[in-house]
Chain A
Amino acid sequence: MADIAAHTKSAASQSEAATQDANAAAIAAFEKRNRMGPFMWLPIIWLCIVIALALFAPLLGLLPADEMDFMALKAAPGAADGHLLGTDHLGRDLFSRVIYGGRVSLTVGFAAPAIGVGLGLILGMAAGYYRGWIDDVVGIAIDTWLAIPGLVILLLFAVVFGGSLFMVCLSLGLLFIPTAARITRAATMKYAGREFVLAARAMGASDRRILVKEILPNVIWPLIAFVLIDIPIAIVVEGALSFLGLSVKAPTPSWGGIIAEGREHLESSPHIALIPTAVMFLTVLSFNLVGDTIRRRMSDVREGAI
């Protein structure tokens, strides 16, 4: 028995030194998880390039997106002079078309979630703050909205309102209302009962003032994270719509539209469909990666603050 005790003792002092290292290693392992890797900065670089090209497209001296070059129909990338990424079946320069198409996708990508989350914010705050019949009406409206597949709603709107960029942004934005409204409603209800709101009301602040000054700053944060998820979704859905020819009207190029046109020539000239596919994929992927990282950071920060 005595030697077991001795054994224990020597092991204990031996482990003393090892403890320091083990501690450092354990802490390092936890920190490593939060480091920013290539999956953060590569997407950011890509997005910067795409956004800059789309933004400054008219200043870049590109070929007009709808100018047909009959000397180079369906030219593969690099095959015809002056057409970096080749041309489509009408001899239009794919590089210009993809960049100009990006303007449509990115506009919708930013505008639609902003519209949807904005409207959802107003509805959710009204429902969560006033409750009663407003809450009921908003609730039923949201359920109804959710009961129709999103793309069907968009088709319906496309038929009824036609395909202007504004209408596309608006109708796509409507799709983002339900979730945004639900999140806001829950958060509003949480804060409406808090002391600082009750205090403001006791001091005679109007409902509008309470909503804007006291509640809005608190409920807006979760929604920002939400917008980040919505951007790539909006781009994808716009792509689907324009693929079906129900987004902005031709000849305005859009990624989905170019892909749809390229589909007809997939066998002979796959590059017409595959190039915009690759660009759109990388863009959506980048938005997803960046959004995910930022969202994780934000929740870390909030956890840390508690």
Chain B
Amino acid sequence: MRFLLRRFQRLVIVMAAVTFVTFILVNVLPGDVAYEMAGMDASEAEVAEIREEIGLNRPLPIRYLEWVGGVFTGDWGRSFINEEDVWHAITQRFPVSIELMLLAQVMALALAVPMGMISAYRPDSRADRIIAGVAFASVSMPSFMTGLLLIYFFSLTLGWLPATGYEPLSAGLWANLKPMILPALSLALVEWTVLMRTLRAEMIGVLQEDYISLARAKGMSNARILWGHALRPSSFTMLTILGLQVARLMGGTIIIEQIFGIPGVGRLLIHAVYTRDFIVIQGCVTFFALAFVLVNFAVDIAYAWLDPRVRQGGKAHG
């Protein structure tokens, strides 16, 4: 319980800092929002009017506190461009991004765990080296390139899966999943390598533990030893990485949502960037940061579930 409290304290400090930095960047640095909104050939008077209207003339600290207060009460402001409520805009699109990220992580794990095991089972074997080579190629291919290649092969050449689009879950599970496969795969094909390498490294160590020898001495099959005995104690670091990856994944979804035309928060952010819709940008950044910090919080809890020693209040690796 104590360690949860400490994590929570940190969470608050970091969030305060994140909102502050975002606010400063968007509001103080060059490029006055009012000019952007008024358009190229607006007169000074028109600009001044807009400033007054959206409250840009009041002192900065007040505006910051007002905005932060709003963040807590669900009032994240309204888009300068189309008047849409920012909180509503984000929460409406969020589930789509979540689905994409979850699917990507599941695919990444589905690749990483068996591959990591095969590699760790016989380090330096031919299989290990082939997997390492594939992983090398895989990380050297950023998701936007992978996405493009996947579209080229699976949509344009083979015509198996759609290149763009999104269907809500209400249209049926398969209809919903179908257009998500390629985008999720684009992300997974980058992310799996880190997971695989972490698992491999840790599992090589675990496989030399006495309790693995004991499992072998009990006559357990290799599959049972790897999945039943070695996987759990080998996945602590991988789980932490999985949480840390969410940050990268969120960056990844921005670009992937753009390529595949998926209406998630990333696309909202990019659109806001293109139209210089500052209040939406501010909202999205805050949201991403909040989501990220919360995910890491959740990872800590999952950690405690994985390692019974942490549950007892002790340390992870004692």
Asked if A and B are interacting partners, one says yes
Q: Which residues 272-286 of B sit at the A interface, judged by CB distance below 8 A?
A: 273, 276, 278, 281, 284-285
- Given A151-B254, A280-B145, answer yes or no on A144-B248 (Cβ-Cβ < 8 Å): no
B152 near A159 with CB under 8 A, answer no
Task: Give the docked Cα–Cα distance between A266 and B148 (Å).
Answer: 8
Seen from chain B, the residues whose Cβ lies within 8 Å of a Cβ on chain A are 10, 13-15, 17-18, 21-22, 25-26, 29-31, 124, 136-137, 139-145, 148-149, 151-152, 156, 247-248, 250-252, 254-255, 258-259, 269-270, 273, 276, 278, 281, 284-285, 288-289, 292-293
For the complex of A and B, 4 pairs with smallest distance between CB atoms: A151-B251, A285-B140, A144-B17, A149-B251
Which residue among A151, A259, A273, A292 has the maximum number of chain B CB atoms within 10 Å of its CB? A151
Q: How far is the CB of A283 from chain B (nearest CB, A)?
A: 9
Task: Give the docked Cα–Cα distance between A156 and B18 (Å).
Answer: 13
Residue of A nearest to B270 (CB): A244
Whether A126 sits at the interface, judged by CB under 8 Å, is: no
Contacts of A275 in B (CB 8 A): none
Q: How far is the CB of A139 from chain B (nearest CB, A)?
A: 10
Q: How far is the CB of B258 from chain A (nearest CB, A)?
A: 7
Q: How far is the CB of B152 from chain A (nearest CB, A)?
A: 6
Residue of B nearest to A278 (CB): B145
- Given A147-B292, A148-B18, answer yes or no on A156-B281 (Cβ-Cβ < 8 Å): yes
- Given A147-B289, A147-B292, A156-B281, answer yes or no on A240-B273 (Cβ-Cβ < 8 Å): no
- Given A144-B21, A148-B285, answer yes or no on A160-B255 (Cβ-Cβ < 8 Å): no
Once A and B bind, how many residue pairs between them come within 8 Å at the CB atom? 130
Residue of B nearest to A159 (CB): B273
- Given A146-B247, A160-B26, A246-B273, answer yes or no on A236-B142 (Cβ-Cβ < 8 Å): yes
Seen from chain A, the residues whose Cβ lies within 8 Å of a Cβ on chain B are 33, 140-141, 143-144, 146-152, 155-161, 232, 236, 239-240, 243-244, 246, 256, 259, 263, 266-267, 270, 273-274, 277, 280-281, 284-285, 288-289, 292
User: Contact check: which of A144, A161, A270 meets B18 at CB < 8 Å?
Assistant: A144
Residue of A nearest to B136 (CB): A288
Contacts of B143 in A (CB 8 A): 240
- Given A277-B148, A280-B145, answer yes or no on A160-B25 (Cβ-Cβ < 8 Å): yes
Contacts of A160 in B (CB 8 A): 25-26, 29-31
Q: How far is the CB of A119 from chain B (nearest CB, A)?
A: 16
B17 near A288 with CB under 8 A, answer no
